[in-house]
Amino acid sequence: MRIAITGGTGFVGRHLAKALSAGGHEAVLIARGFDRRDTTALNLPNVSFFPADLASVPELARAFAGCGGVAHCAGINREAGQQTYKRVHVAGTQNVVEAARIAGVGKVALLSFLRARPNCGSGYHESKWAAEEIVRGSGLDYTILKAGVIYGRGDHMLDHLSHALFTFPVFATVGFKDKLVRPLAIEDLVKILEAVLIGGRLSRETVGVMGPEAIPLGEAARRVGSAIGKRPLIMPTPVWFHYALAVVLEATMKIPLVSRAQVRILSEGIIEALPVCSSLPTDLLPDTPFSDNQIRAGLPEASAFGAEDLKCCM
């Protein structure tokens, strides 16, 4: 089967493409550009790259031609210039749906966020919810996966957390009460996406997708620290401090250590879907533990943050 992947050169897109290629399927990676730090997916058998953003329905329809399914994985966790939540999450999803209809695509799988919901005061959460509603009301066969924190090789979580622990001796929790997270291994998410896109599972369902273990964010940092030989001091810190820090980091870092949207996400905890939605069937439940071996497998090269991470050094 031929599957189109929006955000195809990003973290989830790359891993999905690798799994599809290994299974003998074709993958079309759709993105504005690609991460030059990891171009491995572009060289796989039956994987092609289609340079496009989400703004043009005709271009997307061309990319979707001959595809049996679309994995809509494109998204942002901070706004920058014309890349706004409304443009990417809302208008982009509307264009994906329209292009899928024109191209006769059989299935659309939307990767959303676990706690995406309306009227909560967060542009990120609300735009992700709007995208869900567009897909649910499209008339197409769909599956919406509301995922929590995803980790693995090339992610944001292990990448930035490990660099931060090499740079700073402390880890600041978001809020004085450490919130819980359920880290989700990319392998488990890809397994579900394959079941949806290739196996036709979870038709017209919205499901929550979380890792098997609920742990405090500070404990997650300790486990990553242990894997890289660091023992960070866990320091409870008020939420307002992280919002202020995020403003500075978004202005100065190419890929911020933390964005304002991520502060909101971490301040709530990430262990249950909002609104309440369907659960995964037993055979698709994530079961990969957030273990030392699993963390090590996803870690980037050991290093601290440096000048190359700053916008001024672009």
Q: What is the domain-level CATH number for residue 186?
A: 3.40.50.720
277 belongs to a structural domain: no
User: 26 with 162, same domain?
Assistant: no
User: 79 with 220, same domain?
Assistant: no
**pLDDT at residue 40, rounded to an integer:** 80
User: 11 with 110, same domain?
Assistant: yes
User: 105 with 199, same domain?
Assistant: yes
173 belongs to a structural domain: yes
**pLDDT at residue 59, rounded to an integer:** 97
**pLDDT at residue 39, rounded to an integer:** 74
Domain that holds residue 236: 157-180+213-270+288-313
User: Are the beta carbons of 111 and 12 closer than 8 angstroms?
Assistant: yes
**pLDDT at residue 149, rounded to an integer:** 96
- pLDDT per residue of the chain (314 residues) written in tens, 0 to 9: 999 999 999 999 999 999 999 999 999 999 987 666 677 888 899 999 999 999 999 999 999 999 999 999 999 999 988 999 999 999 999 999 999 999 999 999 999 999 999 999 999 999 999 999 999 999 999 999 999 999 999 998 999 999 999 999 999 999 999 999 999 999 999 999 999 999 999 999 999 999 999 999 999 999 999 999 999 999 999 999 999 999 999 999 999 999 999 999 999 999 999 999 999 999 999 999 999 999 999 999 989 999 898 998 76
User: 265 with 164, same domain?
Assistant: yes
CATH of the domain at 305: 3.90.25
139 belongs to a structural domain: yes
How far separated are the first and last CA of the chain, in Å rounded?
40
User: Are the beta carbons of 48 and 28 closer than 8 angstroms?
Assistant: yes
Q: How many domains does the chain have?
A: 2
User: 194 with 241, same domain?
Assistant: no
Query: What tokens appear for 73 in the block?
Result: 């994985």
User: 188 with 107, same domain?
Assistant: yes
**pLDDT at residue 32, rounded to an integer:** 84
279 belongs to a structural domain: no
244 belongs to a structural domain: yes
Query: What tokens appear for 260 in the block?
Result: 């304002």
Length of the chain: 314
User: 266 with 297, same domain?
Assistant: yes
109 belongs to a structural domain: yes
User: 119 with 258, same domain?
Assistant: no
What's this model's pTM, rounded to 2 decimal places? 0.96
User: 14 with 125, same domain?
Assistant: yes
Smallest Cα–Cα separation from 91: which of 115, 55, 49?
55
User: 161 with 146, same domain?
Assistant: no
Exposed, middle or buried, 70 (CB in 10 Å: 0-12/13-18/19+)? buried
134 belongs to a structural domain: yes
User: 119 with 259, same domain?
Assistant: no
278 belongs to a structural domain: no
How many other C-beta atoms lie within 10 A of the C-beta of residue 294?
18
Phi, psi of 150 (to 5 degrees): -105, 135
Amino acid at 1: M
How many other C-beta atoms lie within 10 A of the C-beta of residue 230?
18
